[in-house]
């Protein structure tokens, strides 16, 4: 089975975007904090429709020719940008992981609030790398959601950066 990781920035109060999806609160001039190194290990990025639509508002498709998998229950509705390597899938997190395993993928990057929560709830996330931005937003799209039981984590490492970022890495232990 492929290993699945989350690499995401949140506000100190746990939001990954404002209520309308805006990311204006993310620092534009912060130092590198491991994203490129992480991405170099990733075989495919798995996101939901909402995150996909947010990406479409960017000036350029941010993932180059990296394999992206967009999860949606209405596959026919999605328009894939030119040059992007995007597959559209529907199905449970388990189904999606199984299909990507058949393609030989070993490391999946799970992104977007709903998708992360679905994969977490299904027990399919192995590693969380969370970068805290030093701001309180007071509301927005939360990284985490409800769970049917506690999920215990093992703290692997925490790195701090001069701009105030605090990045903690956890493994899921049960």
Which residues contribute to the site for a copy of itself (CB under 8 A)? 12-14, 25, 120, 128, 130, 132, 134-139, 143-155, 157-158, 160, 164-166, 168, 170
Residue that the structure tokens 């596959």 belong to? 75
CA separation for the pair 66, 17 (Å, rounded): 23
Question: In terms of DSSP bridges, do strands 3-11 and 107-110 run parallel, antiparallel, or are they unpaired?
Answer: parallel
DSSP codes of every residue in 27-71: -SSPPP-SHHHHHTT-SEEEEEHHHHHHHHTSSS-TTTTSEEEEE
Q: Judged by CB, which is closer to a copy of itself: 79, or 157?
A: 157
Nearer to a copy of itself, 15 or 61 (CB): 15
Q: In whole angstroms, how close is the CB of 36 to a copy of itself at the nearest point?
A: 23
Nearer to a copy of itself, 88 or 165 (CB): 165
Least distance to a copy of itself from the beta carbon of 13, Å? 4
- Report the residue number, 98 or 171, with the smaller CB distance to a copy of itself: 171
Name the minimum Å distance from CB 125 to a copy of itself.
10
By beta-carbon proximity to a copy of itself, the closer residue of 91 and 164 is: 164
DSSP 3-17: EEEEEEEEETTSEEE
Closest CB 67 distance from a copy of itself, rounded Å:
28
End-to-end CA, the chain: 17
CB of residue 106 to a copy of itself, shortest distance in Å: 25
- Kindly report the number of other CB atoms within 10 A of residue 162's CB atom: 7
């Amino acid at each position: 089975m492929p290993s699945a990781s989350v690499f995401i920035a949140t506000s100190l109060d746990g939001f990954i975007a404002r209520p309308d999806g805006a990311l204006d609160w993310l620092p534009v001039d912060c130092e590198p904090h491991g994203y490129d190194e992480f991405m170099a290990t990733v075989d495919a990025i798995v996101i939901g429709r909402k995150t996909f639509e947010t990406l479409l508002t960017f000036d350029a498709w941010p993932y180059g020719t990296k394999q992206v998998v967009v999860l949606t229950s209405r596959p026919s509705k999605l328009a894939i940008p030119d040059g992007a390597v995007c597959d559209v899938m529907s199905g449970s997190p388990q189904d999606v992981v199984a299909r990507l395993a058949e393609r030989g993928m070993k490391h999946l990057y799970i992104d977007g609030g709903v998708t992360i929560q679905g994969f977490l709830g299904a027990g399919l996330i192995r590693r969380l790398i969370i970068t805290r931005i030093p701001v309180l937003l007071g509301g927005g799209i939360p990284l985490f959601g409800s769970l049917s039981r506690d999920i215990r984590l093992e703290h692997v490492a925490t790195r701090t950066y001069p701009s105030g970022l605090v990045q903690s890495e956890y493994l899921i232990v049960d």
